[in-house]
Amino acid sequence: MTLDRRNFIKLLGGASGLAIAGQAAAQAKAGSAAVSAGSAAEIMPKGSARRVIVIGGGYGGTIAAKYLRMLDKSIEVVLIERNKEFVSCPFSNFYIAGLMPDMKALTIKYDKLTANHGIKVLHAEVTAIDAAAKMVVTSQGRLAYDRLIVSPGIDFMTDGIEGYDAKTPEIFPHAWKAGPQSALLRKQLQAMKDGGTVVIGVPLMPFRCPPGPYERACLISSYLKKHKPKSKLIMLDANPDVVSKKGLFTKAWNSYYKDIFQYVGGQVTKVDTKARIVVADNFDEYEVAVANVIPPQRAGNIAVVAGLTDDKKRWCPVDAISFESTILKDIHVLGDATLLPSDGGAMPKSGYSANSQAKVCAINIVALMNDKPTTELSAINACYSAVSETESVSVSHVFKLVNGKIKITATAVSPIDFSLGKIEKAYGESWLKNVLTEMST
């Protein structure tokens, strides 16, 4: 459990209007001051049209909002997102390693979703969800919904790392949410002296973007090899082995980055930002020039606050039909935050998975709201990772519904000899262009 009392209260901060039974009980138990009831005014009162609210304007939320409107214009869609822009995690490793001048190619805005699809975008912080009253409480007031989609991404569980506090990411960036964190890690890499040690700490699965840390290892190694060749990059991986595209990444490390990169088994258990030390459970201690500690992950805060997470308070169990929560009715969850019924391998927590899930969700929410039969899931994951400045590799999955569970019908990775590396680098760029265009137009 990662939310201490302070964080819990902070999460609820501003949730003054509605005291749902659960929250009131939790707060009373926590010994905090009771929230004052009824102070959050209702905003955007619901008219006669049916309304779906989408929380979170990332890979899942934007697509769900857009496809709902494409499929049924009679449904009003309100997208609530705290930020004015979204920065893509996929491809942010290129920026971190100095291979993109800025984050423009990773950034989208929301205005065209309004202009093209009539999606109402509200920039506000969601502080609570009242599932019984079907209300979302935001920093600007509360809003009613008929159905709610929560696409909250991830937040971190840092209790298992001694010395890790709210300030730690400002010194040891995780850069696992793109934006200022990516900029900080890039800046630190560029500022470090040649001969320093960089550590990447990989958390235990499941986490957002399984190939992400390994791609990062390749691109940072590539940067160091070119600009700071006396430096070392050490990857502390809490998993028993490389969890994604293993053959391909291992080959890249061995063929390109042998003098720079070292893969070490071990979980980061302690950080000391003052002494600049990272400690692993194998008792190794590293004095670091740059530490990129990626903490273990769970569903985004709002999902935990709303009671959408399982008994471990980690991921949100949903069905494989419309991604409706198995805990709270009329609330659907998408993307990294979900725990899906699967037969064999699970859908990776990737941007493309979220995109594909959002469409399944939209199709079946429209069916449910119109009393029509739902349709069986069919989904895809397609994911590119760079192994060097000029070469990328990919993994693909096709998912179908079999006996109520999601099953992989095909999965494969690029050839091990990197014979497609250059063309897949270019395909990856087109992937980014299309997926972000789809989210923003």
Partner 1 sequence: MKQRWSRWGLTAGALAISAAAFAQTPQTPPTPEMISFACAGCHGTNGGSAGLLMPSLASQSKVSIVDAMKKFQSGERASSIMGRLAKGFTETDFEAMGEFFSKQKFHATNQKLDKALVKKGAALQEANCSRCHLDDGKDGKDDTPVMASQWLPYLQIQMDMYLSGERKMPEKMAEKVKPLSKAELEALLHFYASVK
Which residues, 294 to 323, sit near partner 1 by CB under 8 A?
307, 311, 313, 319, 321
Find the binding residues for partner 1 in span 180-219 (CB under 8 A). Answer: none
- Give the per-residue contact string, 324-363, with partner 1 (x = CB under 8 A; - = no): x-xxxx----------------------x--xx--xx--x
- Per CB under 8 A, the list member of 30, 166, 191, 275 interacting with partner 1 is 30
- Per CB under 8 A, the list member of 151, 267, 338, 394 interacting with partner 1 is 394
**265 Cβ neighbours under 8 A, 6+ residues apart:** 236, 237, 240, 282
> Looking at beta carbons only, is 137 or 192 nearer to partner 1?
137
Closest approach of partner 1 to the CB of residue 237, in Å:
26
- Give the per-residue contact string, 34-73, with partner 1 (x = CB under 8 A; - = no): --------------------------------xx--xx--
User: Considering only CA atoms, which of 89, 81, 137 is closest in space to residue 111?
Assistant: 81
Closest approach of partner 1 to the CB of residue 313, in Å:
5
Residue type (1 letter), 177: K
Task: Say how far apart CA 214 and CA 209 lie, in whole Å.
Answer: 10
- Per CB under 8 A, the list member of 43, 277, 398, 402 interacting with partner 1 is 398
Phi, psi values for residue 21, rounded to 5°: -50, -45
**438 is a site residue for partner 1 (CB under 8 A):** yes
Task: Say how far apart CA 339 and CA 161 lie, in whole Å.
Answer: 24
Strand order in the sheet with 120-122: 120-122, 75-80, 50-55, 147-150, 331-333
Angle between helix axes 421-440 and 61-71 (nearest 10 degrees) is 60
CB 95 within 8 A of CB 103: yes
Closest approach of partner 1 to the CB of residue 379, in Å:
5
**115 is a site residue for partner 1 (CB under 8 A):** no
**Both tokens of residue 391?**
């070469």
Closest approach of partner 1 to the CB of residue 191, in Å:
34
- Per CB under 8 A, the list member of 165, 170, 194, 376 interacting with partner 1 is 376
Closest approach of partner 1 to the CB of residue 154, in Å:
18
Closest approach of partner 1 to the CB of residue 110, in Å:
16
**32 is a site residue for partner 1 (CB under 8 A):** no
* Location of structure tokens 């725990």: 339
Task: Say how far apart CA 183 and CA 166 lie, in whole Å.
Answer: 18
List b or e across 348-373, with b for residues whose CB sees 16 or more CB atoms inside 10 angstroms. Answer: bbbbbbbbbbbbbbbbbbbbbbeeee
> Looking at beta carbons only, is 109 or 230 nearer to partner 1?
109
- Per CB under 8 A, the list member of 174, 177, 225, 397 interacting with partner 1 is 397
Of 74-82, 169-177, 185-193, 403-411, which part binds partner 1 (CB under 8 A)?
Answer: 403-411
